[in-house]
């Protein structure tokens, strides 16, 4: 079967005319992706800041005040309570008034001066396990840094063994460089599938499918013609969301624009094909959009590595995640954005994108062929 460019472009022009008349689809195409990136980019954050801290200083010495000052000057903690006794800790943690209580025992300065171990206690609200873990790491880091200063002041003959950690690609360990590239992948999978989920269903609901079926246009030309405008819109949306990430969230772009463009095109073709397949099978715009949201939103957010580490998931979920295209595209986005890696590293994800495009288009063409036969 030879695809005729003229007929394909005629279908594409017809789809553009219908799209221009549909304000809701235009808003979904151009406004929703930018809004989702900005909202999620600000809301989703794994940085823990402004941690409320209560201090129980039972030593009342210069060293204990220095340690307390180290917490307040770190930029992570905000001291809201100075306690007189340990019985005040539980009520504060119970009602969530503080997230951490720092207890400095009597004799703290004396033991440090003598070169002995001087333990301090950090009591952390563990109701939010993720925040508690990060808070514990911050507290340990501050205490370790202060301990190193004490060792240097005391000019001890034997310095403790220390580890110097260096972070690559996201030196500040900030959330936006991790979240925003993944958000672009997840948002575009959702929007692309939902946009094309309306196309064929719209034809059925408006009664124009019979007219389309009566034309000599081949099903492949119909599908590609309907996809073409949305592919252009998707590429524009991806470019816009990338610029938002770079200039609004200061996410560096270090990789190849050409490589990302090719990978993005394959990903969008698969997502758009999936949307048309859903639209063709269900024939209802409302039902098609609901199903498209269900099969794209939850997997893209929960099983793609955007929010949760895939390696930490149970084996059955890790296996299921292999069927989520956003998982592979998120790896591509982070690799190109932050690491500037190319085909030698991303060839596996590239094959997954090509396979996704082929599967999405094949499903759409075969389903549509049945309808106009």
**pLDDT tens sequence across 11-35:** 788 878 877 777 777 777 778 788 8
Q: In total, how many domains does the chain have?
A: 2
Does residue 139 sit in the same domain as residue 212? no
CB of 259 within 8 A of CB of 349? no
CB of 120 within 8 A of CB of 143? yes
Q: Which of 106, 122, 154 is the last residue of a domain?
A: 154
- According to the model, what pLDDT value does residue 270 have? 92
The residue among 167 and 92 whose pLDDT is bigger is: 92
CB of 262 within 8 A of CB of 351? no
Interatomic CA distance for residues 86 and 103, integer angstroms: 8
Kindly give the interhelix angle for 219-248 and 199-206, rounded to the nearest 10 degrees: 130
Whether 347 has a pLDDT exceeding 90, the answer reads yes
Does residue 195 sit in the same domain as residue 276? yes
- H-type alpha helices, 31-127: 32-43, 62-72, 89-94, 108-113
Does residue 206 sit in the same domain as residue 345? yes
Does residue 68 sit in the same domain as residue 37? no
- Asked which of 129-138, 140-149, 266-275 is least confident by mean pLDDT, the reply is 129-138
- According to the model, what pLDDT value does residue 177 have? 84
pTM of the model: 0.75
The residue among 353 and 204 whose pLDDT is bigger is: 353
Sign of CA dihedral 313, 318, 320, 326: positive
Phi/psi of residue 370, nearest 5 degrees: -65, -35
Domain of 76, CATH number, reads 3.40.1710.10
Q: What's the whole-number mean pLDDT along residues 164-175?
A: 68
Tell me: the pLDDT tens digits for 281-293? 887 777 888 888 8
Does residue 73 sit in the same domain as residue 23? no
Structural domain boundaries, residue 80: 51-154
Distances, alpha carbon 276 to alpha carbons 115, 227, 354, 363, in Å: 72, 8, 18, 9
Does residue 301 sit in the same domain as residue 349? yes
Name the pairing type of β-strands 51-57 and 121-124: unpaired
Percent of the chain clearing pLDDT 90 (strictly above): 23
Does residue 34 sit in the same domain as residue 57? no
- According to the model, what pLDDT value does residue 190 have? 84
Does residue 183 sit in the same domain as residue 285? yes
- According to the model, what pLDDT value does residue 210 have? 62
Q: What's the whole-number mean pLDDT along residues 228-237?
A: 90
The residue among 137 and 309 whose pLDDT is bigger is: 137
Q: Please report which confidence band the pLDDT of residue 166 belongs to, taking 50, 70 and 90 as the band edges.
A: low
Place of tokens 């580490």: 309
Whether 130 has a pLDDT exceeding 80, the answer reads no
- According to the model, what pLDDT value does residue 214 have? 64
Phi/psi of residue 366, nearest 5 degrees: -65, -40
Can you tell me whether residue 159 is helix, strand or coil? coil
Whether 373 has a pLDDT exceeding 50, the answer reads no
Does residue 56 sit in the same domain as residue 24? no
Does residue 362 sit in the same domain as residue 344? yes
Does residue 34 sit in the same domain as residue 56? no
Does residue 180 sit in the same domain as residue 239? yes
Q: Which of 90, 120, 154 is the last residue of a domain?
A: 154
Q: What's the whole-number mean pLDDT along residues 260-270?
A: 93
- Asked which of 229-238, 299-308, 319-328 is least confident by mean pLDDT, the reply is 299-308
Distances, alpha carbon 79 to alpha carbons 50, 100, 104, 202, 233, in Å: 9, 10, 14, 59, 50
Q: Please report which confidence band the pLDDT of residue 42 belongs to, taking 50, 70 and 90 as the band edges.
A: confident
């Amino acid at each position: 079967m030879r695809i005729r460019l003229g007929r394909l472009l005629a279908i594409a022009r017809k789809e553009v005319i219908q799209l221009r008349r549909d304000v809701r689809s235009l808003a979904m195409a151009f406004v929703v992706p930018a809004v989702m990136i900005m909202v999620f980019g600000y809301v989703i954050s794994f940085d823990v800041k402004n941690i409320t801290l209560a201090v129980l200083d039972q030593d009342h010495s210069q060293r204990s005040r220095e340690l307390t000052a180290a917490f307040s000057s770190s930029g992570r903690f905000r001291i809201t309570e100075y306690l007189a006794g340990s019985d005040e800790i539980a009520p504060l943690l119970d009602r969530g008034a503080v997230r951490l209580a720092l207890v400095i025992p009597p004799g703290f300065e004396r033991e440090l001066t003598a070169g002995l171990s001087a333990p301090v206690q950090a009591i952390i609200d563990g109701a939010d396990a993720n925040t508690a873990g990060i808070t514990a790491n911050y507290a340990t880091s501050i205490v370790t840094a202060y301990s190193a200063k004490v060792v240097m002041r005391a000019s001890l003959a034997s310095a403790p063994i220390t580890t110097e950690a260096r972070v690559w690609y996201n030196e500040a360990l900030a959330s936006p460089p991790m979240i925003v590239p993944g958000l672009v992948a997840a948002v575009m999978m959702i929007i692309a599938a939902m946009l094309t989920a309306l196309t064929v269903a719209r034809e059925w609901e408006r009664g124009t499918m019979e007219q389309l079926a009566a034309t000599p246009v081949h099903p492949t030309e119909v599908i590609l013609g309907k996809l073409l405008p949305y592919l252009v819109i998707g590429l524009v949306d991806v470019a816009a969301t990338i610029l938002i990430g770079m200039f609004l969230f200061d996410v560096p772009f270090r990789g190849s624009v050409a490589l990302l463009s090719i990978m993005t095109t394959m990903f969008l073709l698969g997502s758009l094909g999936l949307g048309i397949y859903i639209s063709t099978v269900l024939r209802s715009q409302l039902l098609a959009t609901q199903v498209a949201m269900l099969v794209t939103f939850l997997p893209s957010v929960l099983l793609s590595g955007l929010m949760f580490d895939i390696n930490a998931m149970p084996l059955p979920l890790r296996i299921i995640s292999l069927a989520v295209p956003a998982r592979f595209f998120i790896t591509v986005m982070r690799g190109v954005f932050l690491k500037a890696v190319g085909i030698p590293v991303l060839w596996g994800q590239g094959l997954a994108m090509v396979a996704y495009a082929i599967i999405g288009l094949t499903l759409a063409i075969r389903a549509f062929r049945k309808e106009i036969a």
